[in-house]
Amino acid sequence: MYWEEETNEEQYVVPDDVVDLLFKINCPTLPVDHAWDLSRAINEQLPWFSQQAGAGLHIIHGADSGNGWERPQGSEDLLHLSRRTRLTLRIPKHRIEEASTLSGKTLLISGHSMQIEEAKHRKLGMTSVVYSRYVVSSPEWSEDEFMSWAVAELKKQRLRFKKVLSGKTAEIATPDGPISTRTLMVANMPIEDAVALQEQGIGAHRTLGCGLFIPQKDF
C-alpha cells in the first residue's frame, strides 16, 4: 500500500540560503529608470555583486498609488522617496556581512545622492503567489510568445503552478540599448516552490532588477 499524507504548509519553514538585505537610505529623489546607474554604483562598492549567483537588485519602485498620487512612468521622471523607502539586495546568506559594508557609503545615481544607512535581512516570502515587475523579454515577442517561454522556464525548474499571468511592458535603459521586459505573476504554487522561484528567479539581468519575484496577494 502507498499512502502520501498532504503537505502541511503551516509547518513549512522558509530557508535562509537566500535573503533580502534591506538598507535604510536617505535619498529624496531618483529617476524612474535608475537600474543601470544604481547597479553600477553598487558594483563599484561590491565588485563581486554582478558575478554572484543568486544575487539581485530590487529596483526602487515606491508606491503605485496612494492618496491620489500616481507613480510617474517616464524614464526621466523623478521618484520622490520617503524615509520608509529601502534599498534591497537579494543575496546568498554568506554574503550578508560583505554586502553590509555598503552602510555608511554614499552612492551617486544619475546626479542624485543616496546615503546608505543600517541594514537588516529578512527571509523570502512565505506565499503561494509571486510577482516580478520586470522579466526580460525579446522585443519581437508577442505576449503569447513571452508566456510560452516563461512557462517553459518555470517547468525547467520543475516548479509546480496552476496560473501564470503577464501584463505591463517596460524598458530599462543601458549603454548597449534598452532591455525589454514584461511583468509576470505565478500563482497557485506550493509554498516551497514559490520560495524556490524567489531564490532562483527567471531570465537574465538580475542585478538590474529583472527576474526577481516578490510575494503578491492572491488574485
85 has pLDDT over 70: yes
Burial grade of 67 (CB within 10 A; 0-12, 13-18, 19 or more): exposed
In a domain, 36, yes or no: yes
Of 158 and 72, more confident: 158
In a domain, 84, yes or no: yes
**DSSP letters spanning the chain:** ----PPP-GGG-----SEEEEEEEEE-SEEESS-HHHHHHHHHHH-TTGGGSTT-EEEPP---SEETTEE---STTSEEE--TT-EEEEEEEGGGHHHHGGGTT-EEEETTEEEEEEEEEEEEPP--S-EEEEEEE--TT--HHHHHHHHHHHHHHTT---SEEEEEEEEEE--TT-PEEEEEEEEES--HHHHHHHHHH--SS-GGGT-S--EE----
Which of 29-33, 68-72, 84-88 shows the lowest mean pLDDT across its residues?
A: 68-72
> Which residues form the domain of 106?
18-123
Per-residue pLDDT reduced to its tens digit, 129-172: 999 999 999 999 999 999 999 999 999 999 999 999 998 999 99
CA separation (Å) from 135 to 55, 113, 152, 208, 215?
A: 15, 28, 14, 10, 15
Amino acid 178: pLDDT: 97
Amino acid 218: pLDDT: 61
Which of 68-77, 164-173, 192-201 shows the lowest mean pLDDT across its residues?
A: 68-77
Of 77 and 97, more confident: 97
CATH number at 177 reads 3.30.70.1210
Amino acid 67: pLDDT: 40
CATH number at 79 reads 3.30.70.1890
Q: Are residues 111 and 151 in the same domain?
A: no
Distance CA 198, CA 42 (A): 21
Q: Are residues 37 and 117 in the same domain?
A: yes
Q: What is the mean pLDDT of residues 184-200?
A: 97
Q: Are residues 88 and 144 in the same domain?
A: no
Q: What is the mean pLDDT of residues 106-128?
A: 96
Domain boundary among 97, 123, 149: 123
With cut-offs at 50, 70 and 90, classify the pLDDT of residue 69.
very low
Domain boundary among 104, 123, 142: 123
* Number of separate domains in the chain: 2
Amino acid 32: pLDDT: 94
Amino acid 12: pLDDT: 87
Which of 180, 134, 174, 201 is CA-nearest to residue 39? 174
pTM: 0.88
Domain boundary among 123, 153, 170: 123
